[in-house]
Amino acid sequence: MNAKKSLSLAIAILVVLPIVFSGCKKGPEDPFLSFRSRKARLCGTWTVSSLQSEINRKENNISTKTITTVDGESWKQVITILNSDSTRTLTGKIAKDPGQSEGTYTFFFDKNGNAKTVYKYEFDEDQSGEDDDVSVIHRTEVTEEMSGSWEFISGIDNEYKNKERITFIIVEQKTTTKLSEIISSDDDEGGVPVPHTLSTDVASDRYAPGEMCIVYNIVELRNKEIKLHQDVNRFHVSAHNATSESYQENGEENLVLTPRQKTKE
């Protein structure tokens, strides 16, 4: 290679490198260099492998703190009434869809801007009396679904960089809660108790585009891992005739996402 070609190649590298570097590292834990765009790294189906959420809620002069933890397929929620000794601890798991090796807590983003999340979890509570000869378990199964669109958010002064945050614009939201009862006793002859459905509640909402959204800060965006952070600050008030209700929620949520494994054949 002659000196003229070497000089041209060096100049080309110097021109290209700043462009590549400037498009890579946005979040504090982003890779320093990636040859895939941020959009290409984000698009796909992801499993939430970890969740840490702490939300303070004030409703009708009662203040609570709810800590929710997801670690793999383990699910736990601790609800404490502040300024009291009252605490409720729920321990359960992330539910699996048929043929799926991972629990169903997923995010989906595609290149056309479509987005969806499905969050399925269940937990048992022992309702047996101390003197009862039978075991009574109440099982709660919850499925939370949200669908809509996503987009990167532009930077704001020195506080946020361009494409450092994404917004999940919710168009449809649905929560299904199923309560079942499982009764067993020592007299059972080895059979597996069959859950009996007590109730099934469905809450569904639709929104105009842009009316309801969640903003996530992208802490880390890699091919094999995404870390998201959400600041929670919600306020609701409604009144009907002589009655009214209001609540306020504040807190934060941190999620770690890993690529979704393929469904078993």
Q: Looking at residue 1, what is its pLDDT? A: 54
**C-alpha span between 223 and 162 (Å, rounded):** 19
Mean pLDDT (the chain) is: 87
**C-alpha span between 91 and 89 (Å, rounded):** 7
Q: Is the separation of the CB atoms in 115 and 149 below 8 Å?
A: yes
Q: Looking at residue 25, what is its pLDDT? A: 57
Q: Looking at residue 47, what is its pLDDT? A: 97
Helix (H) or strand (E) holding 199: strand 196-206
| DSSP class per residue in 84-141 | SS-EEEEEEEE---TT-SS-SEEEEE-TTSEEEEEEEEEEEEE---TT-SEEEEEEEE
Token pair in block for residue 182: 């499982």
Across residues 115-139, what is the average pLDDT?
90
Mean pLDDT is lowest, of 14-18, 135-139, 142-146, 188-192, for 14-18
pLDDT tens sequence across 17-39: 444 444 555 666 565 455 689 99
Percent of the chain with pLDDT over 90: 64
Q: Looking at residue 191, what is its pLDDT? A: 66
Which DSSP state fits 208? -
Closest CA to 60 of 248, 239, 251: 248
pLDDT tens sequence across 224-264: 999 999 999 988 777 777 777 788 999 999 999 999 987 76
- pLDDT over threshold 70, residue 80: yes
- pLDDT over threshold 90, residue 115: yes
- pLDDT over threshold 90, residue 130: no
**C-alpha span between 88 and 248 (Å, rounded):** 20
Q: Looking at residue 17, what is its pLDDT? A: 44
pLDDT tens sequence across 193-220: 888 999 999 999 999 999 999 999 999 9
Highest mean pLDDT among 35-44, 116-125, 153-162: 116-125
* Predicted model pTM: 0.83
Q: Looking at residue 229, what is its pLDDT? A: 98
- Which CA distances in Å does 55 have to 68, 77, 181, 255, 256? 9, 11, 29, 14, 18
Q: Looking at residue 14, what is its pLDDT? A: 44
Q: Looking at residue 257, what is its pLDDT? A: 98
Mean pLDDT is lowest, of 20-24, 122-126, 137-141, for 20-24
Q: Looking at residue 9, what is its pLDDT? A: 46
Q: Looking at residue 186, what is its pLDDT? A: 66
- pLDDT over threshold 90, residue 4: no
Rg of the chain's alpha carbons, rounded to an integer?
Answer: 24
